[in-house]
Structure 1
Amino acid sequence: MSAKTKLPVGQEAIEEFGWLRAHRFLLLRRATQIFFLSLFLLGPWFGIWWVKGNLSGSLTFNILPLTDPFILLQSIVGQHWPETTALIGAIIVGVAYALIGGRVYCSWVCPINPVTDGAHWLHEKLGMQKGWQPKHNTRYWILGMVLAVSAITGSVAWEFVNPISMLHRGLIFGMGFAWAFVVAVFIFDLFVSRRGWCGHLCPVGTFYGLLGTKSVVRISAVERSACDDCMDCFAVCPEMHVITPALRGKDGDTPLILSPDCTNCGRCIDVCAMDVFKFTHRFDDTPVPGREGRTRTQPASGASKAA
């Protein structure tokens, strides 16, 4: 085991680059999440209606329609054919996320992400066990169940319990029952299943993951031969299984993280003092040596900070 696994997560990067550099993508994500949420709150709070609606469906400057394609899909299977503006809005959003990575929505836009990140932070601070971990395909069963309920009831079923919509309503109308759904997500991730909601249950994230399966924007472990086995990238990654094929690959294996589960959050880039990771595109064929080709002497770690 590398001695550096005993350091606090990200400490080596902070010492090497400074605190801001070691948190740049985390800070950018929080900024974009606040920005998008603020756009929807400007109207109800201040009467500035640049954007009308919410993340499910909106109209910007009375010109640009945007529709959550997952909402549109539920509407269609519920036998409610959407209006042309809703179709156009869904196509715009769908194409955008198909290109940049569907689960970018989860890490850069979704307002529930800070809630689950907060639960994870507290979970780690309290030194709690990771708890129950649903099987990987659970998310797909839930997605299918949501669509089945929409088809049977003729409704957009997920909107009745969607924590994202509930958070938006709570911020507009104040404290109420809507907050119970948000608190439930926090408690679930804190006490029941570490990173369980976004990683294993949320059908919205599952849908966007499928949408961005062939997305262009990717993270690459392009300098994986420099890896010093500190394990910080695994500790901060919300979907740590996506890192292994890219980071531990043999000579000739792609260093690209190609799994649709990757949220492109950039935290692996933040915390890596060796600058192993970078944002790139799926067509990047830059040759890199595998783990066997590295010149460092640290042995491969047998444990993880995230364990």
Structure 2
Amino acid sequence: MSRKADIPVGHDAIAEKGWLSAHKYLLLRRFSQAFFLAIFLLGPWFGIWWVKGNLSGSLTFGVLPLTDPFILIQSIVAGHWPETTALIGAVIVAAAYALIGGRVYCSWVCPINPVTDGAHWLHEKLGMPKGWQPKANTRYWVLAMVLAVSVLGGVIAWELVNPISMLHRGLIFGMGFAWAFVLAVFVFDFAVARRGWCGHLCPVGAFYGLLGTKSLLRVSAVDRAACDDCMDCFAVCPEMHVITPALRGRDEDTPLILSPDCTNCGRCIDVCAPQVFRFTHRFDDSPAPARPEREKNTPSTKASRAA
């Protein structure tokens, strides 16, 4: 709920921009996630083998290899040197995410994201307490542990418990033990730690965050002078700590959200009625000049606050 008037998050944005514009990036993300999942299921379900494999490794149209670089690194440290096609595929994927932002994978591709978003929605809907919150660097310890187990065990450790792979197997081979891992992630985020899996534990997110540290694609609080302190952006952000430096910075501070934890999900852009945020590139670091006061407090915003 909005903190000032006890109205739903995004209410002002819907009034100002319309429902579709206030959910644009959320809808695009769901389409993107469904698309990437569907292309891997076309073969097993319908015999249309445009893409063979899964998000760990695939071959598209028999020509384009794509390999998860996190999987490749585990394979190498485990003592299993990959084929040349796997190396090429990992370089392609790593270069793409290093350019556009590593955690774009988390919010635009990963099929577990709708599961954790659903858990968070239900958690908030029922008004449950925040719950246990692991430390922010826990996922990096999990990442290190996965690599250590790969070294010591000679296996690609994360694939033994990876809920993303488990979800794919469950959709292809039917309900079974694989779904227990997906259900465990849902229950963990719903009942144990709000936004706990993606935000604090998942080593895949940690890896892609490190990979995209210097990426070009960024969200910017370019018009932060127009902020009306509704706090809706913080309410919807899965990594809310990334917003503060850009939104609350001094005039000479960059409005860019530069933290590698940012998933570039675009929800802050969706729910912001004054349209403070936008997608841009990392070299666009100048905030917009302050708007006149009359533009900051539009009639629709005032009306919604009074409702």
Using the TM superposition, give the Cα deviation of residue 6 of structure 1 relative to its aligned residue in structure 2, in angstroms. Answer: 2.2
CA distance in 1, matches of 2:285, 2:62: 43
Contact kept? 1:133, 1:194, Cα under 8 Å = yes
Partner of 1:152: 152
Unmatched 5+ residue regions in structure 2?
Answer: 298-307
Partner of 1:76: 76
Partner of 2:196: 196
CA distance in 1, matches of 2:269, 2:93: 26
In the TM superposition, 1:99-248 aligns within 5 A as 99-248=99-248
| Aligned residue type for 1:31 | F
CA distance in 2, matches of 1:31, 1:288: 32
TM-score by length of 2: 0.93
Partner of 1:301: none
Question: Relative to structure 1, is the Cα distance of residues 71 and 294 closer, same or farther in structure 2, using a 3 angstrom cutoff?
Answer: farther
Question: Relative to structure 1, is the Cα distance of residues 294 and 144 closer, same or farther in structure 2, using a 3 angstrom cutoff?
Answer: farther
CA distance in 2, matches of 1:287, 1:219: 12
CA distance in 1, matches of 2:142, 2:182: 18
| Aligned residue type for 1:132 | W
Runs of 4+ in 1 over 6 A off after TM superposition: none
Partner of 1:302: none
Contact kept? 2:133, 2:196, Cα under 8 Å = yes
CA distance in 1, matches of 2:14, 2:215: 31
Residue 66 of structure 2 aligns to a residue whose secondary structure is: strand
Contact kept? 1:251, 1:288, Cα under 8 Å = no
CA distance in 2, matches of 1:3, 1:95: 41
Aligned residues: 295
Question: Relative to structure 1, is the Cα distance of residues 3 and 186 closer, same or farther in structure 2, using a 3 angstrom cutoff?
Answer: closer
Render the CA deviation track for 1:177-231: whole Å, top value 9, x for unaligned: 0000000000000000000000000000000000000000000000000000000
Partner of 1:304: none
CA distance in 1, matches of 2:215, 2:251: 24
Residue 280 of structure 2 aligns to a residue whose secondary structure is: strand
Residue 71 of structure 2 aligns to a residue whose secondary structure is: helix
Using the TM superposition, give the Cα deviation of residue 137 of structure 1 relative to its aligned residue in structure 2, in angstroms. Answer: 1.1
Residue 6 of structure 1 aligns to a residue whose secondary structure is: coil
Partner of 1:32: 32
CA distance in 2, matches of 1:242, 1:287: 17
Unmatched 5+ residue regions in structure 1?
Answer: 299-307
CA distance in 1, matches of 2:76, 2:281: 33
CA distance in 2, matches of 1:287, 1:98: 25
CA distance in 1, matches of 2:262, 2:136: 14
CA distance in 1, matches of 2:130, 2:25: 25
Q: Share of identical aligned residues, percent?
A: 80
Contact kept? 1:252, 1:289, Cα under 8 Å = no
CA distance in 1, matches of 2:5, 2:259: 25
CA distance in 1, matches of 2:198, 2:33: 16
